Amino acid sequence: MPFLILKKSALVVLKPYLKFFLMPSDLALNCRNLCREYYDLMDNCSAYVNKLQGELCITFPQYLGIFSKITIYISLTLLETYTSPNAFITSDTQKIIDIIKSTARFGLTYAENKYNAIIQAVNEVNEFDYIIDSNVTRIRLYISFIRKYDEELKNILNAMHDLVNSNEDTDFVKQIHLIETFKVAGFLSTESLMGEIGDFSAFSKLKQLFSYFGLDPTVK
């Protein structure tokens, strides 16, 4: 085995045109692992968001248009507390308004308007109301998963910032900040890019970088 390693090493020296693998630094690998895990969690979270939307399409479709996104904090809080359309009707009006006001923090008028929109949606859905216990269970389950994924996504994003902040003096992080100077490049996209590339020093020519991204096609 050692003989084979020496033989391959000798071939690289004698034949410099041979391509060989460059192992990224620990910093680049940490960056890559965190970014990949972040996007993997994003995909999983999106799957449960789609499941929640599907469940609401069956049990409370009118609710989907009340908020800009069903996953904003106030929306999930209301769905956790009042898991069926009838729960909004039978609950204390002022209590629901107070929840909206304290959670959304947009004032009393906003809270009252949202409450009225919810009650109107409830009255519309009651004409075709059909909800069973398993629907309620699944809604609560999906919300708990969404909240957990959101929490872990924040933790990973914080870990990415800590990784960059603790290595400000490295060329790798300096290259991250350089890319961030472009308006279209945000922190997450820049760190993902650098994590996959490893280091721009791996490319001796601009054409090599273009080829790496598939932007320099050739026809044979």
What is the chain's mean pLDDT, rounded? 83
Q: How far are the Cα atoms of 19, 65, 80, 96, 170 from residue 129, in angstroms, in the given order?
A: 66, 17, 19, 21, 61
CB 27 within 8 A of CB 172: yes
User: Quick one: pLDDT at residue 12?
Assistant: 43
Which residue has tokens 């107070």? 98
Determine contact, residues 194/179, Cβ cutoff 8 Å.
yes
Whether 11 shows a pLDDT value over 80: the answer reads: no
Confidence category of residue 86, pLDDT binned at 50, 70, 90: confident
For the segment 118-143, what is each residue's pLDDT rounded down to a tens digit?
Answer: 999 888 876 556 678 898 899 999 99
User: What's at 66, amino acid-wise?
Assistant: I
Task: Give me the DSSP letters along 158-183.
Answer: HHHHHHHHTTTTSHHHHHHHHHHTST
The string of DSSP letters for 23-56 reads PPPHHHHHHHHHHHHHHHHHHHHHHHHHHHHHHH
pTM above threshold 0.85:
no
Res 5: pLDDT: 46
CA contacts within 13 A on the Cβ side of 75: 20
Residues 39-52 pLDDT 10s: 999 999 999 999 99
Query: CA–CA separation, 88 vs 99, rounded Å?
Result: 12
- Which is nearest to 77 in space by CA: 45, 108, 111? 111
* Cβ–Cβ < 8 Å for 35, 191: yes
